[in-house]
Structure 1
Amino acid sequence: MTIPLDLVVSVSDHDSLDSVATQARRAEEYGFERVSAGETTGWDMVTTFAVIGERTDHIGLSNDVLSPYGRAPTVLAQTALTMHEATSGRFRLGLGTSSPAIAKRWHGASFDRPLRRLRETIDIVRGVYEGGSVNYDGEIYQLDGLSYDRAVPDDPPSIDVAALGPKAVELAGRFADGWVPQLFTVGGLDERMADLRRGAELGGRDPTDLRVAPLVRCFASEDRERAREETRAMVAFLVGAYGPFYGQSVAEQGYEDVVEEIRAAWDDRDTAAMAAALPDELLDEIAAAGTPDEVREQIKQFGEIDGVSAVRIGFVRGMDSADKEMTMEVLGSML
């Protein structure tokens, strides 16, 4: 297998930025192409990746994701350009609408018109990248005449969009440089690629220029059952409790009854019942959990989807440091 692998660092599992940077260095040593991490209510990812960038040499850096509900589009552009300089061009800017819970309960913002807001954010970031005065008269944002107060590089950071639904994925294809999907089956992802290609065509772009890196939750272990049960529990939580969008996406991939049962269990906060409702069939289609050989084979299937540029490896809640090291080693052997 020659497809690149990215690694998602579970920042919440670390007790220091030193520890996060050490794991990123290990990913670099194993041959992973990029390292990324998500931002919710813990450490901010700008500072975190500035530290990682300073302590690594060549691995690419991506954030998953920064939201226009938490930062103004111009600030996102400033951040991307500063990170570009700080990391010698290794940074890709990850954008997404996040979720109603994060927008409302953490950022104090109304989760209104998320796709329009994301579209205008990309427009404004591109405008800052172009240099000169930034004038923008949008439905959500209006900017009038200020400029980025530094030289703009010829190769500003690429923009990746985390998206699930057909319209959001079409938007990514039309306006962004990459797409980061999550919780898709191989078949579901292959079908959604049509929306990405349609967006690229609407934007007069070549879809093969887009970096598509699906995030797959992985746990490789000689203790097969433990790996599978820990992964099952996390996937069930993401489907049933982590905002409305993941569950909706999985339901639309042919698992409506499963999602309904998992959500009903979450209404009772019965996490054991949530996990029990996730069948082996779905677990094997949406994640990579089991023996090293099984995990390698499952990741290979995602990498062979037409249009996929890389596979982004995510850890599973419940893994200890030895579990993560083994999973990195197992997947690093494919590189």
Structure 2
Amino acid sequence: MNAELDLLVRLTDYDRPQDVADRAVQAESLGFDRISTGETTGWNIVPPLTLAADRTEELGISNDVLSPFGRSPALLAQTALALHDVSGGRFRLGLGPSSPAITERWHGEAFDRPLRRTREAIEVIRAVYEEGNPAYEGEIFEISGLNYEREPPESPPPIDLGTLGPKATEMAGRFGDGWAPQLFTKDGLEDRLADLERGTELADRDRSDLRVSPIVRGIASEDRDRARKLARGTIAFMLGAYGPYYGDSVAEQGYPDVVADIRDAWADRDTAEMAARLPDEVLDELAPAGTPEEVREWVAEYAAIEGVDAVRFGFVDGMTEADKTATMEALAELR
């Protein structure tokens, strides 16, 4: 497999931030190229990623994703620069508008003009990177500016955008250094890559300068039926209950009836029925779940899509520690 292999971990799977560092050490020893984790309403991502960076030597460090509704653009730049320094330049900043639920019910902000806010946040972050000052006048942010207390690095952390829709992905092509989408079929990903390409053309940029690292969630196990059951439950929940965007995106990729059926089951909070309403063929399109051989084949085919630079693999719900190790070892054979 020519593409790189990233590992996406969930902070809720660990008892201490130090345990994330243990996973990072394991990932590095197995040949993974990068580890990434997201931030919602649990731990701040900085301590676990700092520990992971400190205990590894070559493993890339990323986050999925920080929101300009949850942190000011200047604080996003500070966070990225601190993780850049602690990792010796291995950090990539993941940025995205997040969701109405987290924005409004956790951060207490109105989910207003998310794409504009994200674009302006990128520009402020780059101002700190380049000038050491967040001074900016925009439609969302007006910042008079103070000086960054340290010398900005010559090669600051790249900015990866976690987006789904056509316009948001075009924005990633115009303003980002990478793109980390989620829950795309192979055909759906190829279609959206055209939007990314359009963004790079509008900015007169070379698409090869962006790192495209789509996120997939799966499990490799000799117990094929159990693996598929666990994956089915996770994917169905993401389509029906995890905010509107993933379900809307998969519906637009050709499965509106499936998404509607799953959402109907979620209206009754019937997670078993949600899973039952996810057909095998849709599960197969969205998730690598099955025997180690099947999962390796799925990931290799996904990685072979033109324009994909890395596959970012995340676990599904209900996996044991043995499941996770077995899955990582199965994927390591692709390296």
Range with greater deviation from structure 2 (134-143 or 195-204): 134-143
Please state how far the C-alpha of 1:2 moved relative to its aligned partner. 2.3
Aligned mates of 1:150, 1:71 — CA distance in 2: 20
Q: What is aligned with 1:301?
A: 301
Do the aligned partners of 1:50 and 1:83 also contact (CA within 8 Å) in 2? Answer: yes
Range with greater deviation from structure 2 (143-152 or 71-80): 143-152
Q: What is aligned with 1:197?
A: 197
Q: What is aligned with 2:122?
A: 122
Do the aligned partners of 2:234 and 2:316 also contact (CA within 8 Å) in 1? Answer: yes
Please state how far the C-alpha of 1:133 moved relative to its aligned partner. 3.9
Structure 1's unaligned 5+ residue stretches are none
Q: What is aligned with 2:221?
A: 221
Q: What is aligned with 1:2?
A: 2
Aligned mates of 1:87, 1:31 — CA distance in 2: 18
Aligned mates of 1:200, 1:298 — CA distance in 2: 28
Q: What is aligned with 2:238?
A: 238
Please state how far the C-alpha of 1:19 moved relative to its aligned partner. 1.6
Q: What is aligned with 1:59?
A: 59
Aligned mates of 2:8, 2:172 — CA distance in 1: 21
Please state how far the C-alpha of 1:172 moved relative to its aligned partner. 0.3
Do the aligned partners of 1:9 and 1:24 also contact (CA within 8 Å) in 2? Answer: no
Do the aligned partners of 1:96 and 1:163 also contact (CA within 8 Å) in 2? Answer: yes
1:203-257 deviation line (CA, Å, top 9, x unaligned): 1110111100011112000000000010000000001000110000000000000
Q: What is aligned with 1:258?
A: 258
**In the TM superposition, what are the counterparts of 1:9-28 in structure 2 within 5 Å?**
9-28=9-28
1:317 alignment partner, SS class: coil
Q: What is aligned with 1:188?
A: 188
Please state how far the C-alpha of 1:132 moved relative to its aligned partner. 4.4
Q: What is aligned with 2:82?
A: 82
AA in 2 matched with 1:188: G
AA in 1 matched with 2:232: R
AA in 2 matched with 1:17: P
Do the aligned partners of 2:17 and 2:47 also contact (CA within 8 Å) in 1? Answer: no
AA in 1 matched with 2:22: T
Aligned mates of 1:305, 1:284 — CA distance in 2: 16
Q: How many residues align?
A: 335
Do the aligned partners of 1:303 and 1:311 also contact (CA within 8 Å) in 2? Answer: yes
Tell me the percent identity: 59
**In the TM superposition, what are the counterparts of 1:80-159 in structure 2 within 5 Å?**
80-159=80-159
RMSD: 0.8
Please state how far the C-alpha of 1:148 moved relative to its aligned partner. 1.3
Q: What is aligned with 2:35?
A: 35
TM-score (norm 2): 0.99
Aligned mates of 1:35, 1:93 — CA distance in 2: 12
Do the aligned partners of 2:250 and 2:256 also contact (CA within 8 Å) in 1? Answer: yes
Do the aligned partners of 1:49 and 1:61 also contact (CA within 8 Å) in 2? Answer: yes
1:62 alignment partner, SS class: strand
Q: What is aligned with 1:324?
A: 324
Q: What is aligned with 1:169?
A: 169
Aligned mates of 2:112, 2:224 — CA distance in 1: 43
Structure 2's unaligned 5+ residue stretches are none
Matched, 1:248 2:254: no
1:276-314 deviation line (CA, Å, top 9, x unaligned): 110011100111000011000100111011100000001
Do the aligned partners of 1:7 and 1:34 also contact (CA within 8 Å) in 2? Answer: yes
Q: What is aligned with 1:178?
A: 178
Aligned mates of 1:58, 1:228 — CA distance in 2: 33
TM-score (norm 1): 0.99
1:96-141 deviation line (CA, Å, top 9, x unaligned): 1111000011001100000000000000000100124432111100
1:93 alignment partner, SS class: strand
Please state how far the C-alpha of 1:82 moved relative to its aligned partner. 1.2
Q: What is aligned with 1:292?
A: 292
Aligned mates of 2:132, 2:93 — CA distance in 1: 21
Aligned mates of 2:326, 2:11 — CA distance in 1: 18
Range with greater deviation from structure 2 (318-327 or 141-150): 141-150
Q: Which 4+ runs in 1 deviate beyond 2 A? A: 132-135
1:141-179 deviation line (CA, Å, top 9, x unaligned): 001132212101110000000000000000000000000
2:144 alignment partner, SS class: strand
1:98 alignment partner, SS class: coil
Q: What is aligned with 2:73?
A: 73
1:217 alignment partner, SS class: strand
Aligned mates of 2:147, 2:228 — CA distance in 1: 52
1:8 alignment partner, SS class: strand
Please state how far the C-alpha of 1:43 moved relative to its aligned partner. 0.8
1:331 alignment partner, SS class: helix
Check 1:127–1:284 CA distance in 2 against 1; reply closer, same or farther (3 A cut). Answer: same
Please state how far the C-alpha of 1:51 moved relative to its aligned partner. 1.2
